[in-house]
Structure 1
Amino acid sequence: MTESRDAAVPFTARDFRTTLGRFPTGVVVVAAVVDSSPAGLAVNSFTSVSLDPPLVAFCVDRGSSTWPAIRRAGGFTVSILAAGQDDLCMTFASKGADRFAGVQWSAGSGGHPRIEGAVAWLDCSIHRVDEAGDHQIVLGEVHDLVLHDRPSLLFHGGRFADLVTRPSAEQPEKSRPAEVALAGLHGLDVATPFFDVLSARLDRN
């Protein structure tokens, strides 16, 4: 049973965070080499923005001590973390930690750290930074990427989660009404590159 709230009662910051935490996300490490040393932070507010030009975005707390250094570098690499990289994620989310201690990484085409074992790497330059309340919205232009066939690390409800995929190609058309309806919603196929891919996939099936 879903718990309801009285609309007349103001919601708290905790209500807001808990509610948005029900939206499953992936987790990435945004990293750059700054003054010959690697710097990075964990982010779960990462998303695709545009195909032409290829843009991605993430949000970072204005109180972050790491982001100003990455911003000075003018670019960064996004490493999409893989299932099983929970501890690595926690390290990059911790304050005061030596985040790259014991972490294997290599320099990408932009010279910034690509975390070994990640699902994918996207090498970006900073396209734009906008102020948004207590966060900044960072747009990055992707100049290079590498994809590996690995399951992704997910975050949901304050916990790490596993991805379970459904072999939709093996299911009869009549058993997928929700997917068909999703593909037909006006505007959804242009909302993000993800929906472009989903729409094309459903058309093929």
Structure 2
Amino acid sequence: MTRELRDCLGHFATGVTVVTSEIDGQKHGATVNSFTAVSLDPPLVLVSLDRTSKAGRHLGDRPFVVNVLKEGQSDLAMHFAGRPTARPIRWDGTKLAEALAHIVCEPWRSYDGGDHVLFLGRVKEIGTSQGDPLLFYRGAFTKRGA
């Protein structure tokens, strides 16, 4: 049923984010489409990360940034999914400089999510830029209205 469930869930279009943080003085990121708003008061968001990933093992005790990617940034999504790109990554601290939006968080809580860990972050800073979101649908990147 695992494959069938994955295929079924793929029918829900999602935005694409890269969750970034600093670990031992090095910037790291992980491509994540399991992201959602949780609460406005207090301001909370949730990301779900594979517990075996580096980000999944280290995110719970450090600040992190949810970077919402825009159209044309699928190579950036693939880079942080483990397929490095030759394009240089532009950083602004631990934020991705060219993201459509960013949400800077401090750790709030984490919960067991089976093979994933659910991380709630308290929002400390937000920012947006111009553009359309990068979307993921049925296992592929797509454009709004496509």
TM-score (norm 2): 0.93
Equivalent position of 2:77 in the other structure: 89
Deviation at 1:65, TM superposition (A): 2.3
Deviation at 1:54, TM superposition (A): 0.6
Stretches (4+) displaced over 4 A: none
Aligned residue-pair number:
146
Q: SS in structure 2 opposite 1:94?
A: coil
**In structure 2, what is the Cα distance between the partners aligned to 1:101 and 1:152?**
20
Q: 1:67 to 1:101 in 2, by over 3 A?
A: farther
Higher relative contact order (CA 8 A, sep 6+): 2
Equivalent position of 2:110 in the other structure: 129
**In structure 2, what is the Cα distance between the partners aligned to 1:159 and 1:101?**
21
**Contact 2:104–2:123 (CA<8 Å) still a contact in 1?**
yes
Equivalent position of 2:35 in the other structure: 46
Structure having the higher helix fraction is 1
Q: Which amino acid aligns with 2:95?
A: R
State the superposition RMSD in angstroms.
1.9
Q: Which amino acid aligns with 2:46?
A: A
**In structure 2, what is the Cα distance between the partners aligned to 1:71 and 1:135?**
12
**In structure 2, what is the Cα distance between the partners aligned to 1:91 and 1:117?**
14
Identity of aligned residues (%): 37
**In structure 2, what is the Cα distance between the partners aligned to 1:20 and 1:43?**
15
Equivalent position of 2:97 in the other structure: 116
Structure having the higher strand fraction is 2
Equivalent position of 2:92 in the other structure: 106
Show CA shifts across 1:41-97 (max 9, x none): 00000010100011000111111123323334x2101110010000110110117x5
Deviation at 1:164, TM superposition (A): 2.8
Show CA shifts across 1:139-190 (max 9, x none): 011011001121000000001111139xxxxxxxxxxxxxxxxxxxxxxxxx
Equivalent position of 2:63 in the other structure: 75
Gaps of 5+ in 2: none
TM-score (norm 1): 0.67
Q: Which amino acid aligns with 2:109?
A: R
**In structure 2, what is the Cα distance between the partners aligned to 1:59 and 1:67?**
8
Q: SS in structure 2 opposite 1:149?
A: coil
**In structure 1, what is the Cα distance between the partners aligned to 2:43 and 2:90?**
27
Q: SS in structure 2 opposite 1:88?
A: helix
**In structure 1, what is the Cα distance between the partners aligned to 2:121 and 2:111?**
12
Larger Rg: 1
